[in-house]
Amino acid sequence: MRRFFVAGNWKMNKTIAEAKALIGALSPELATIDNVDHAVAPSYLALPAVAGLCKGTGIKVGAQNLHWETAGAYTGEVAPPMVAELCDFVIVGHSERRKFFGETDESVNQRLKAALAVGLDVIVCIGETLEENEAGQTEAVVTRQLEVGLAEISETQAAAITIAYEPVWAIGTGRAATPEDANNVHKNVIRPFLREQFGEARAELMRIQYGGSVTPDNAAELFAMSDIDGGLIGGASLKPESFIAIVKAASMVAIVQQESQS
Ligand code: 13P
């Protein structure tokens, strides 16, 4: 059985002081949940403080992006070895990076390879826009993003990768995909691709998160689906009570699934 992985992507929110306060509120509650992997991804500036506070709490810490070069004249960028000093994982290919900062499937692949090379776990984000969805192109878009984004990655390297399916039209809109629609993409598009690329055994172990307007109200329903293995949470990760409720929902679903299997 795959272990749920629930990560909060704080995006461009929280000063260092606010980030510290949020971790202070999260850590006592999250410390009581040991059957779900949970994580936060603050801004670069808040990372040192957050990483320090999360040490020994079980909360994993990630960055929201990284450059693929090891060092050099790339003003404003952050290199993989710098991220690896503080973080357990990094997010690459978020749709906001693609939309506002010109990132492509090819540069997602470069970032992924560079992150794996320094020993980071990686969340690779994919997902179609509203236009693509309405044109019936979801499968084609997601498959292309996976083909190019995961090019030249070995089965062994895949152990460090989580896929986050985030339909762009569901991000920050309050309009989440239905559990059935999301699971359909996870189960019938993403998982088969992973099987083809990395083999049956690896594909069964890899986690596919859903992201896009996950809230305490819809989390349990989403996580109860066969191929939704956690969530990448934006807005609802900024408030301690809602992020805790979402992690608890994953924990409850895990308990129910465990019982039904034994
Ligand atoms: P929301 O949860 O705010 O829709 O954001 C999802 C997301 O983009 C997480 O990376």
CATH number of the domain bearing residue 73: 3.20.20.70
Q: Which sequence positions are flagged as catalytic?
A: 94, 166
* 6 CA → ligand 1 middle, Å: 12
Enumerate residues 6+ apart whose C-beta is below 8 A from 91: 7, 9, 41, 62, 63, 64, 65, 122, 123, 125, 164, 232
pLDDT beyond 90 at 225: yes
Tell me how crowded residue 155 is: count the other CB atoms within 10 A of its CB: 12
* 212 CA → ligand 1 middle, Å: 5
* 260 CA → ligand 1 middle, Å: 31
DSSP H helical ranges for the chain = 16-30, 47-54, 80-86, 95-101, 105-117, 130-134, 138-149, 155-158, 179-185, 191-198, 200-205, 219-223, 240-261
For the chain, the average pLDDT equals 98
pLDDT at 1: 84
Ligand 1 atom nearest 232 alpha carbon? 9
Domain count, the chain: 1
The predicted model gives 96-114 an average pLDDT of: 98
In whole angstroms, what is the distance from residue 163 CA to residue 186 CA?
9
Using most ligand atoms within 8 A of CB, pick from 233, 237, 239 the residue to mutate for ligand 1.
233
**pLDDT, tens digit, 9 for 90 and up, residues 29-86:** 999 999 999 999 999 999 999 999 999 999 999 999 999 999 999 999 999 999 999 9
CB 237 within 8 Å of CB 13: no
Query: Measured from the CB, is residue 242 less than 6 Å from ligand 1?
Result: no
Query: Measured from the CB, is residue 214 less than 6 Å from ligand 1?
Result: yes
Query: Measured from the CB, is residue 172 less than 6 Å from ligand 1?
Result: yes
In whole angstroms, what is the distance from residue 162 CA to residue 257 CA?
21
User: Domain range for residue 115?
Assistant: 5-236+245-261
pLDDT band, residue 261 (cuts 50/70/90): confident
Give buried/exposed letters for 39-54 (b at 16+ CB in 10 A, else e). bbbbbeebbeebbebb
The predicted model gives 234-238 an average pLDDT of: 98
Query: Measured from the CB, is residue 233 less than 6 Å from ligand 1?
Result: yes
Residue with tokens 């059957």: 35
Query: Measured from the CB, is residue 211 less than 6 Å from ligand 1?
Result: yes
Query: Measured from the CB, is residue 235 less than 6 Å from ligand 1?
Result: yes
* 60 CA → ligand 1 middle, Å: 18
Q: Among 162, 164, 163, 173, which residue's Cα sits nearest to residue 218?
A: 173
Ligand 1 atom nearest 236 alpha carbon? 2
